[in-house]
Amino acid sequence: MATYNLTTPLTEEDTRKLKAGDVVNLSGVIYTARDAAHKRLVDLIEAGEELPFDLEGSVIYFVGPTPPKPGDPIGSAGPTTSYRMDSYSPTMLKHGSKGMIGKGKRSQEVKDACVEYGGIYFGATGGAGALLGKKIKSAEVIAYPELGPEAVRRIEVEDFPVTVINDTYGNDLYQMGREQYEVKD
């Protein structure tokens, strides 16, 4: 288990050195998108149209934050459960995205896409919304404001703490961790 400080956009050189279980403090610009936004983004990709942001090297955060209090860039902002994005993530990775932040296990298709396209699935601590919200220094809705908490936001993070769950070698921290601590009668 190693600890890295990485800044977005991520390169394949960045992602290929990471292993499941590594801790990464992420800084730079990342983009938020949940279920409804993913559907729209993938529809645009498939129609060959321009996206609201550059996918190359991008990190997508699966989050629907609380509204900001006056003077704050964002409210509480922890990860949502990722499997709901499983059908969209391989397309995002194929078109240049290099990272996803969420919580909970992913499908085999997503894990395979991480290996093929050099992408990483990071886990952030679910329910640590106050802590993680404070690591976000600015936030701006750049697409689909009508989706409310599900709108696409461009956010700037500083030392945002994440753990590598699925790496580019097919490893899965959820499986590895569970096998290590499972007690079989």
User: What are the catalytic residues?
Assistant: 38
Of the candidate spans 41-49, 60-68, 93-101, 111-119, the one that interacts with another protein by CB under 8 A turns out to be: 60-68
Which residues in the 40-59 window bind another protein by CB under 8 A? none
Residues in contact with 17: Cβ distance below 8 Å, sequence separation at least 6, in sequence order? 4
Q: Would you count residue 149 as binding another protein (CB under 8 A)? A: yes
Between CA 162 and CA 171, with CA 167 as vertex, the angle to 5 degrees is 115
Q: Which of 148, 158, 159, 170 binds another protein (CB under 8 A)?
A: 148
Least distance in angstroms from the C-beta of 59 to another protein: 18
CB closer to another protein, 41 vs 55: 41
Beta bridge partners of 99: 59, 120
CB closer to another protein, 27 vs 175: 175
Least distance in angstroms from the C-beta of 112 to another protein: 19
Q: Would you count residue 103 as binding another protein (CB under 8 A)? A: yes
Q: Would you count residue 144 as binding another protein (CB under 8 A)? A: no
CB closer to another protein, 87 vs 163: 163
The phi-psi region of residue 170 (left if phi > 0; otherwise alpha if psi is between -120 and 50; otherwise beta) is left
Rounded to whole angstroms, the maximal C-alpha distance in the chain is: 55
CB closer to another protein, 14 vs 22: 22
Q: Which of 45, 115, 128, 141 binds another protein (CB under 8 A)?
A: 128
Q: Which residues bind another protein (CB under 8 A)?
A: 1, 21, 36, 63-69, 75-78, 80-81, 83, 103-105, 123, 125-134, 148-149, 161, 163, 173-174, 176-185
